[in-house]
Amino acid sequence: MDTETHQSGGTLRLVLLGPPGSGKGTQAKLLVDRFKIPQVSTGDMLRAAARAGTALGQEAKRSMDRGVLVPDATIVGLVRERLGEPDCSCGYILDGFPRTVAQAEALEKLGTPLDHVLSLEVPEDELVVRLAGRRTCRSCGAMYHVQFSPSRGDAVCDACGAPTYQRDDDREETVRRRLQVYTTETEPLVSFYQERGLLRRVPGTGTVAEIAQRVARALGV
Ligand code: AP5
């Protein structure tokens, strides 16, 4: 796809909202290619910190493994720093943030208004199947699904040859917990952004390409 810029001054600030497994990361990667703006995934940032063994990472891993949220203050500090980096000056795709009303309010206080909030909607049964089958490359982060988009080799990334792995928090019991946390903590953001006229609902079932088309339509491109 060609690089595109957004009409509002050449920037695009976008939030992808949706439950675990709804395809935020998958669609975010396609939007990065299309708009040449960074994906800011708080989940990826926390997993990187956990791998690096920092104090923040170790604390975050305990929450992530239990399927509960990392404290707002920790996440808001991390995101504030990231959005201040030069590659975010033309916009960004927020994937997994905000996740609570307090985080959304903190984002508003940064004074960089959002252009769109897309809510990816997928039935719970399908979410569980998607997460149970997800595999991720340890090296480049490429994503696969054992049933829907398997890698060609056995547990090896097609793109770089590194091993793929299953996330610790994709075990069924933890997935159920994450879905509950989404309902109580994050779903209120649907009406939060609806009231601000920013929310677009995007049906998140079908092929990745079909959903990408719906996302593009919702963005008006
Ligand atoms: P995070 O990493 O953000 O996880 P999540 O929101 O639970 O979302 P996922 O990454 O599981 O799913 P996704 O919607 O990106 O779907 P994907 O594209 O991968 O957060 C993890 C943890 O970090 C949280 O539980 C929390 O502890 C902490 N955290 C993170 N942010 C935080 C915050 N702001 N505040 C506090 N704590 C925070 O797709 C899933 C699978 O489905 C893949 O295998 C994919 O290939 C497949 N798939 C995608 N699209 C389709 C399709 N159309 N058809 C079939 N399969 C598909």
Reported as a single tens digit per residue, the pLDDT across 99-115 is: 999 999 999 999 899 99
Q: pLDDT grade, residue 4 (50/70/90)?
A: low
Beta strand ranges found along the chain (DSSP E): 12-17, 39-41, 91-95, 116-121, 134-137, 143-145, 164-165, 199-203
pTM of the model: 0.94
C-alpha 9 to ligand 1 mean position (Å): 30
Cα dihedral 91/96/102/104 (nearest 10) = 30
- Look at the block and give the residue holding tokens 């054992």: 146
CA distances from 167 to 91, 135, 194 (A): 29, 7, 32
pLDDT for 155 beyond 80: yes
- Ligand 1 pocket member 25 (CB < 6 A): yes
Reported as a single tens digit per residue, the pLDDT across 156-213 is: 999 999 999 999 999 889 999 999 999 999 999 999 999 999 999 999 999 999 999 9
Contact 134, 110 (CB under 8 A): no
- Ligand 1 pocket member 19 (CB < 6 A): no
Domain count across the chain: 1
Q: Say which residues have a Cβ less than 8 Å from residue 31's Cβ, sequence separation at least 6.
A: 14, 37, 39, 93, 215
Q: Is residue 51 part of a domain?
A: no
Nearest ligand 1 atom, CA 18: 14
Q: Is residue 162 part of a domain?
A: yes
C-alpha 11 to ligand 1 mean position (Å): 25
Look at residue 172 in the predicted model and tell me its pLDDT. 87
Q: Is residue 27 part of a domain?
A: yes
Structure token pair of residue 178: 């994450």
Q: Is residue 24 part of a domain?
A: yes
Find the mean pLDDT for residues 145-161: 94
- Ligand 1 pocket member 96 (CB < 6 A): yes
3-class SS of residue 146: coil
Q: Is residue 49 part of a domain?
A: no
Q: Which domain covers residue 161, as residue numbers?
A: 3-37+90-219
Determine which residue's CA is closest to atom 21 belonging to ligand 1: 43
Per cent of the chain over pLDDT 90 is 90
Look at residue 2 in the predicted model and tell me its pLDDT. 43
- Residue 185 CA to residue 101 CA, distance in Å, equals 8
Q: Is residue 167 part of a domain?
A: yes
Q: What is the CATH number of the domain that holds 179?
A: 3.40.50.300
Relative to beta strand 116-121, strand 39-41 is unpaired
C-alpha 177 to ligand 1 mean position (Å): 13
Q: Is residue 166 part of a domain?
A: yes
Q: Is residue 47 part of a domain?
A: no
